[in-house]
Structure 1
Amino acid sequence: MDADLGDLTAFLAVAKARGFREAARTSGTSASTLSEAVRRLETRLGIRLLHRTTRSVTPTAAGAGLIQRLTPALGEVDAALDAAGGLRDGSAGVLRLNVPVSAARLVLPAIVPGFLAAHPGIRLEIVAEDSFVDVLAAGCDAGIRYDERLEQDMVAVPIGPRVQRMATAGAPVYLDLHGRPDHPRDLLDHACVLGRFASGALTSPWEFERAGEIIRIEPRGQLIVQVGGATDLAVDAAIAGVGIIFLFEDWLRPHLESGELEPVLMDWWQPFSGPFLYYSDRRLVPPPLRAFIDFIKTMTA
């Protein structure tokens, strides 16, 4: 049997207060409104729920039974509404992000721990891959990409470092044996560790810039690895002396600082703008995503 939630709530309020006037005072509703709600509920059920006198209001046997069963049920309703409120304000829910492996390694570690600590009710799922996918079709709420790969109808929010560089480096043992390049074109005489995207395209040409001059070269080498999943293999191979590697400066930094790798053509390393978090529509942003956007904005403020 259908019953209005407001009528049930009004009945409980009157029964608890033992009167319409007292219930009206505590609930902020008029006594006549409460009386009409209880009368409507009794009519719908076809049974009297409250004994009314000029001095008091007490539950009938049917009313007492209804109170006993309604109290925990409406408590569950309140809990459900509280949970929904949590989803609205971003304090609970699931957030799925599709990101390149480089972002998972170089951008998110500085963000994720603080975000999770600030929002313990949010479960964050990261899908790391370097193929260019439709994030919505992939079941994700947002993605991280660089500006040259952003779709025009997407909303983009800066995330992570705003300026990055691609670096070239080689193992000292390799450079001692084969020489140190003085110009990007010298790389054509060197073994280079190459990458290939999931699409099949090579990560070339390698691009360099100095004093406004841009040089692009098509390097050659014995080793080609898939970008993302096998990038660490490329780094290890470069450290072992297989050839010169071209990769994010931040990815190579620990090995440059340790001396395992030596910077090559450092004054030609080209800067580029950092990544963006992107999503489809600022009007329909899922609450956990809104919480994430607000969090990364505080980090760049």
Structure 2
Amino acid sequence: MNADMQDLLAFLAVVRAGGFREAARTSDASASSLSEAVRRLEARLGVRLLNRTTRSVAPTEVGTRLVERLLPALGEVEAALDVVNHYRDNPAGTLRINVPANVARTVLLPIITPFLKRYPDIRIEVVVEDSFVDLLAAGCDAGIRYDDRLEQDMIALPIGPRTQRFVTAAAPEYLAAHGTPRHPKDLLQHHCIRGQFAGGAMPVWEFERDGETLRIDALGPLLVRQGAAFDLAVGGALQGLGIIHLFEDWLRPHLDSGALLPILEPWCQAFSGPYLYYPGRRHLPAPLKAFVDFVRQQVPSA
């Protein structure tokens, strides 16, 4: 491959991963070789493409413009090469999916395990991110979210359970010490373990019963960022720190074991299941097409 192209790919890998070490983990190159490739590219172009600090790496304005022009061009190259895939007995390549943390934990695993066993030449990269992102700008082929109202030219396909619930629960130790809430408003007098979006906002807890909807903004001793940090929140609830309000599937093992006890069950709020979304272009890359077809086979017929 031409050296210029190799340096461009190294630059893109660093931008997508958000750092040299992170990019090295997902490529065959070392962090130092990626850094040297970006330096060569910057020297050749005569501009700085990345702002580097001890904690982060981010594209400059000109670096962002270069990424915006490169991604569609590389997408066309990948699409051209992917034509070969259609002449193979088994599709091959990499499928990059952007998903929220709870989807990675409760929805995706039961699907990708049989999928990868059926298609051993396909590799799936899962990017866990709870905010809604621009798929193409993030270098992803598809995403999973909980809303089928998507951007123009995107297709939404049901994936996983079609109905899910939030469950409110606490450890027996906590309930024995503080009592069991009988109404959602009682939570205002309890220790509640809360979540927080990356931007700082805290989603309120919603409850619904007989057409009545309540939004509770309770306080507590532990606040965690949405996503994988919820493992810490669950751990706190298991140790009697307070009451947790989370996806039922996430808490199910602890509910089944009795380590957590459900409360306010008549008020549990159900919501529609997630959707796989992807660009509605005519020719999908072979790994994505195989995954879409596989997911379609899992959706129960109406």
Q: Please indicate, yes or no, whether the TM-score normalized by the shorter chain is above 0.5.
A: yes
Shift of 1:136: 1.0
Alignment deviations for residues 100-123 of structure 1 (CA, whole Å, 9 cap, x no partner):
111110001110111111111111
Amino acid at match of 2:165: R
Amino acid at match of 1:293: V
Shift of 1:252: 0.4
Between the aligned partners of 1:247 and 1:152, the Cα distance in structure 2 is 31
Between the aligned partners of 1:268 and 1:126, the Cα distance in structure 2 is 34
Aligned to 1:172: 172
Between the aligned partners of 2:138 and 2:89, the Cα distance in structure 1 is 25
- Structural mapping, 1:251-262, within 5 Å: 251-262=250-261
CA distance 1:265–1:181, change in 2 (3 Å): same
Shift of 1:229: 2.3
Alignment deviations for residues 44-100 of structure 1 (CA, whole Å, 9 cap, x no partner):
xxxxxxxxxxxxxxxxxxxxxxxxxxxxxxxxxxxxx99814478871111100011
1:94 is aligned to 2:91: no
8 Å CA contact 1:156–1:279 kept in 2: the answer is yes
Aligned to 2:183: 183
8 Å CA contact 1:90–1:288 kept in 2: the answer is no
Aligned to 1:248: 247
- Structural mapping, 1:215-294, within 5 Å: 215-294=214-293
8 Å CA contact 2:148–2:275 kept in 1: the answer is no
Between the aligned partners of 1:87 and 1:194, the Cα distance in structure 2 is 51
8 Å CA contact 1:87–1:288 kept in 2: the answer is no
CA distance 1:187–1:149, change in 2 (3 Å): farther
CA distance 1:156–1:99, change in 2 (3 Å): same
Between the aligned partners of 1:267 and 1:185, the Cα distance in structure 2 is 14
Aligned to 2:127: 127
8 Å CA contact 2:96–2:125 kept in 1: the answer is yes
8 Å CA contact 1:173–1:241 kept in 2: the answer is yes
Between the aligned partners of 1:186 and 1:82, the Cα distance in structure 2 is 57
CA distance 1:89–1:134, change in 2 (3 Å): farther
SS state of the match for residue 107, structure 1?
helix
Aligned to 1:154: 154
Between the aligned partners of 1:148 and 1:221, the Cα distance in structure 2 is 33
Amino acid at match of 1:260: A
Give the structure with higher Rg (CA).
1
SS state of the match for residue 297, structure 2?
helix
Between the aligned residues of both structures, percent identity stands at 60
SS state of the match for residue 256, structure 2?
helix
Aligned to 1:105: 105
Between the aligned partners of 2:270 and 2:89, the Cα distance in structure 1 is 38
SS state of the match for residue 282, structure 2?
helix
Between the aligned partners of 1:127 and 1:166, the Cα distance in structure 2 is 24
Between the aligned partners of 1:89 and 1:251, the Cα distance in structure 2 is 38
8 Å CA contact 1:87–1:287 kept in 2: the answer is no
Between the aligned partners of 1:83 and 1:272, the Cα distance in structure 2 is 39
Amino acid at match of 2:104: A
SS state of the match for residue 285, structure 1?
coil
CA distance 1:262–1:200, change in 2 (3 Å): same
1:209 is aligned to 2:208: yes
Provide the aligned length of Structure 1 versus Structure 2.
220
Between the aligned partners of 1:216 and 1:171, the Cα distance in structure 2 is 23
Shift of 1:174: 0.6
SS state of the match for residue 193, structure 2?
strand
8 Å CA contact 2:82–2:285 kept in 1: the answer is no
Between the aligned partners of 1:82 and 1:163, the Cα distance in structure 2 is 36
Let me know the Cα RMSD of the aligned residues: 2.0
8 Å CA contact 2:98–2:142 kept in 1: the answer is yes
Structure 2: runs of 5 or more not aligned: 1-80
Alignment deviations for residues 24-44 of structure 1 (CA, whole Å, 9 cap, x no partner):
xxxxxxxxxxxxxxxxxxxxx
Between the aligned partners of 1:102 and 1:179, the Cα distance in structure 2 is 29
Amino acid at match of 1:121: D
TM-score, normalized by length of structure 1?
A: 0.69
